């Protein structure tokens, strides 16, 4: 089973929406038996909390219910997950530092910025943090994460020889 951990700072806005979107895409593609995901934060401010209310409201507008409880990334996660997807450069660096301190050093091709998968022409490497912003930024984050997660899923399917539903339909 391929496993993906989405990481942001507090694990209450960006990474929980990425986890929710990605999980829904995995289910939609019939790959629940092949791919799993979770999310975590690099800070411990919100451990045990549900995602930010505005994140949950935005998710519900798109048919997603987020029940994840915030947690902090640990060295154990490095052994459990195959891929780490950071929402911004600061969290990317935090994952790299953690991986260098841990026994199971992850190669560079397993730690990504989510926006590396953004099909929109864009020179912005970070998913904006909506925490101090209004509802329009939560929606912007949702749209960025959705398009990036679609591409991430296609990438993982290719890397692990998994067929997406559209590809399975072509075979029949």
Q: Which residues are catalytic?
A: 8, 14, 129
Say which DSSP state 115 is in.
Answer: G
DSSP annotation string for 47-75: TTPPSPHHHHHHHHHTT--------B--H
Q: Classify strands 83-86 and 2-8 as parallel, antiparallel or unpaired.
A: parallel
* Listed residue (163, 156, 160, 149) closest to 6, CA to CA: 149
Rounded Cα distance between 78 and 71, Å, is 14
Is 18:145 a contact under the CB 8 Å cutoff? yes
Task: Name the helix (H) or strand (E) containing 111.
Answer: strand 111-113
Neighbours of 125 (CB within 10 A): 14
Is 115:122 a contact under the CB 8 Å cutoff? yes
């Amino acid at each position: 089973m391929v496993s993906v951990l989405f990481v942001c700072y507090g694990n209450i806005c960006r990474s929980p929406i990425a986890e929710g979107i990605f999980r829904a895409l995995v289910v939609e593609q019939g790959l629940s038996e092949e791919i799993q995901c979770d999310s975590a934060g690099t800070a411990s401010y919100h451990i045990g909390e549900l995602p930010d209310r505005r994140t949950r409201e935005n998710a519900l507008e798109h048919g997603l219910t987020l029940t994840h409880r915030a947690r902090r990334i640990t060295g154990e996660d490095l052994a459990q997950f195959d891929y780490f997807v950071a929402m911004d450069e600061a969290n990317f660096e935090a994952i790299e530092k953690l991986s260098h301190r841990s026994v199971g050093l992850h190669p560079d091709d397993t730690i990504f910025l989510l926006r590396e998968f953004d099909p929109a022409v864009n020179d912005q490497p970070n998913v904006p943090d909506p925490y101090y912003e209004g509802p329009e930024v939560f929606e912007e984050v949702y749209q960025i994460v959705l398009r990036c997660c679609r591409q991430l899923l296609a990438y993982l399917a290719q890397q692990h020889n998994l067929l997406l539903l559209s590809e399975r339909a072509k075979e029949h």
